[in-house]
Each structure stands twice: as C-alpha cells, then as structure tokens.
Amino acid sequence: MERHYGWVIVAIGALMGCIGMGSMFSLAVFLDPIATDTGWSRTGISAAMTIAFLAMGLGAFFWGWVSDRHGPRIVGLAGGLLLGAGLVLASRAESLLAFQLAYGLFLGAAVGAFFAPMMATASAWFDRNRALAVSLVSAGLGMAPVTVAPFAQWLLTDHDWRTAQLVIGLVAWAVLLPAALLLRRPPALALAASGAAAPAEGGFTARQALGSRQFVVLAATFFACCLAHAGPIFHVVSYAMVCGLSAMAAVSVYSLQGLAGLGGRLLLGVLADRHGAKPVLIGGLLLQALAIGAFLPASTLGEFYAVAAVFGLAYGGVMPLYAVLARDYFGPRVMGTVFGAATMVSCLGMAAGPAVGGWIFDRFGSYAGMHLSSLAIGLGAVAIALTFPPLPRLRPERLKPA
C-alpha cells in the first residue's frame, strides 16, 4: 500500500503543477486584454512574469528546504493559499505596480512551492521508474496550457480580465487546499526531518553538494535552457497574432505547445529510465534550440502547429530530467534543497525571457530578435550539458569543487 501511495503523490504533484503553473502562465492570455483595458505597456505587464519567476526561484529554494525539514504537506498548503490570494489581489489591482507585485510575488512564491518540492517528494518515493514518476509530476506543467489557458480564454469571452482572474483564484483555492492535505513523506524519510546540514544519501551534506562541480553544471545548464525558451513560450500568443492569426487560433497554438510538452515529458522520461538522463537531456536541448529557430519562418496556422509541437515536446521533455539528475547525484534526503537551489538559478533565466521579449517587441515592433537570441542561448545550453560529469552517484570526497 505504501508503495502504491507514491503514485498518489505523483497525481497530487501533477495537479498542483498544472493549476499553479497554468495560472501563472495564463498571463500570456491576459496580456492583450489587460493592455487594452488599462493602457499599461506590454513591457510593464510582462514584468509581472519577471517578478514571478524571481519569486518562484527564491520560493523553490526556501520551500525545498522547508519540505526537507517539515515535509511536503505544509508546503502544499502554503502554495495553495498564496496562489489564490495572488490572483484575487491582482484582479483588484488599480495600478501597474500593484498588479506586478500581487501577480508576481504571490503567484511566483506559490509555484515555487509546487515545482521543486513536489518533484523532489515524488522522486523520493521511487527507486524504480524514477524518471517516469518525476516526468508524470512535471506532466502537470504540460497540462497547464491545455487547461487553465483555455479556461481563461473562455472566461474572457463573457467577462473582463478582472472577473476572469478572480474566478481562477477561487477555483485554485477550492481544488488545491484539499489536495495538499493528502501529501506526505515516503516511509524511509518520515521519521526524521532532514535540514540542509543533515547527511544525505552517500554521506555528504547539502552544503557539499551545492559546492560541487556537478551542481554548478546542473544549475548552469538549467539556467541557459530556461533563458532560451522563456521568451518564445510566453510571447507565442502575441507573436502568432502579429503574424496574422486570430486570438483563439493563437491560444490554440499555445495549448498545442503545452500538450506536446506533456507528451515530451512522458517520452523523455521513459527514455531516461532506459538510456540515462544525461544523453536524453542533451538531445532534448538540441531539439529545443532548433525548434526556437524554426519559429522565424512560420506564418500560417499549420506551420505554427508544426513548430509548436516540436518545441513543446523538447522543452517539456527536458524539464523533469534536471530533477532526475539531481536525485542521481545527491540522493533523496537533501533533494528538496539541492533541486530547489538549481530551480532558483533557472528562474533567473525564466525571469529574463518575458521581459526581454516584451522590450524587443516594444522597441522594434518584431519578435525576430528574441527568437535569434534564444536560438543562440539554446545552443549554449547544449554545450554546457556536454560537460556533465559521469552520472553514477559519488562519494562526498569525490565531489569535485566548483
């Protein structure tokens, strides 16, 4: 029964990731309605995502540490409360600054509680099929664009953006808070809290892990990967509309991209269990970079669908592999802290993408510069990933200093 409960943890983690990340990324759907209604600039509205990703990064590190010490249940409850509060407050904001702080700080901190801690918790429940389990948790992120985004677009057909965000916030509270009560640690870790100084599997501490070459390469690859895809993901709806697609068609491109990401998580998760996380990650990063470049010549709905499907499969598939690599290198007992720290670094890349993309469009009236720079950064992520040390778990004395 305890073994099977791990799959319950996977389901809850996927649900939380879907609602949390979907709510945060629904700003892509709200971007034009908010700008039209309020007169706020695209750059200013996009900056809310920048703040959200910074808060998500800090939150992932903090909530990962809390989860290691006190378990995932309190983390899930806090994330659910913050997510609903952020949406409710943002829907009532009368100034751009108030909107940026409510949407950015609250939603970012909430998603930080769902992303790294839930993936770390799920990985600790499994010895076999670990990559698949983590990928299924991450699949909730892939479901976000095909659930929350269309729901937001549907609400906008009959209501203004304020009412739509308010409704999403209330739904988030109703679903996430009861679900969080079902979270718990795996039996092996249930009897003792594991802080940052606690010895990890293999005998080393979180401090040793965070100072190792393995962690530096992991975090640097994660950062470059997210910096490459953040702008194209967030601005795909606006980019498609600039290219002549209708609002609903543009949202459908975004949704297909997310659906492909769901398939990519499952596919690359299974491949990682069979062939190892490192080679699968490198292949996925290369595919991601090439797909970003392929957005440049796209102009028709069919072309957008084709590119979005490949892009979504690639960026969605690589995301859970960072958690698998962190678990393989450092073990489960400080997994929340270590993967939370890697996520914090990656969120710096995610924070920059939307703001830079919005600035490029406001300055030049085109997204071409965003796609070209993202292509170059994506190829850089491949180069960094090639420097990963061997995957077998290492003793602390063999961890290489950064």
196 falls within a domain = no
Residue 166 is part of a domain; what is its CATH number?
A: 1.20.1250.20
In angstroms, the CA 209 to CA 207 distance is: 5
What number of other Cβ atoms are within 10 A of residue 43's Cβ?
Answer: 18
355 falls within a domain = yes
Can you say whether the dihedral through the CA atoms of 283, 284, 288, 291 is positive or negative? positive
16 falls within a domain = yes
Determine what percent of the chain falls in helix, strand and coil, rounding each to the nearest 5.
80, 0, 20
Tell me the β-bridge partners of 401: 212
The backbone torsions φ and ψ at residue 184, rounded to the nearest 5 degrees and listed phi first, read -160, 165
* Number of domains, the chain: 1
Query: What contacts 24+ positions apart, CB below 8 Å, involve 170-175?
Result: 170/84, 170/88, 171/19, 172/19, 172/20, 172/23, 172/80, 172/83, 172/84, 172/87, 173/80, 173/81, 173/83, 173/84, 175/15, 175/19
| Those residues with Cβ within 8 angstroms of residue 276's Cβ, 6 or more apart along the chain or in another chain | 391
Cβ contact 197:207 at 8 Å = yes
Domain that holds residue 48: 2-181+203-394
39 falls within a domain = yes
400 DSSP assignment: P
What number of other Cβ atoms are within 10 A of residue 60's Cβ?
Answer: 31
In angstroms, the CA 16 to CA 33 distance is: 26
In angstroms, the CA 22 to CA 275 distance is: 31
399 falls within a domain = no
**Per-residue model confidence as pLDDT tens for the chain (402 residues):** 456 788 999 999 999 999 998 999 889 889 889 999 999 988 899 889 888 888 988 998 999 889 988 889 999 999 999 999 999 999 999 999 999 999 999 999 999 999 889 988 888 888 777 888 888 888 887 677 678 888 998 999 989 999 999 999 999 999 999 999 999 888 766 554 444 444 444 446 778 888 888 899 999 999 999 999 988 988 888 899 988 888 888 888 988 887 888 888 889 988 988 888 899 999 999 999 999 999 999 989 999 999 999 999 999 899 889 988 888 888 777 788 888 899 889 988 887 887 788 788 888 888 888 999 999 999 999 999 999 887 654 444 445 555
400 falls within a domain = no
257 falls within a domain = yes
Structure tokens at 125: 């429940």
151 falls within a domain = yes
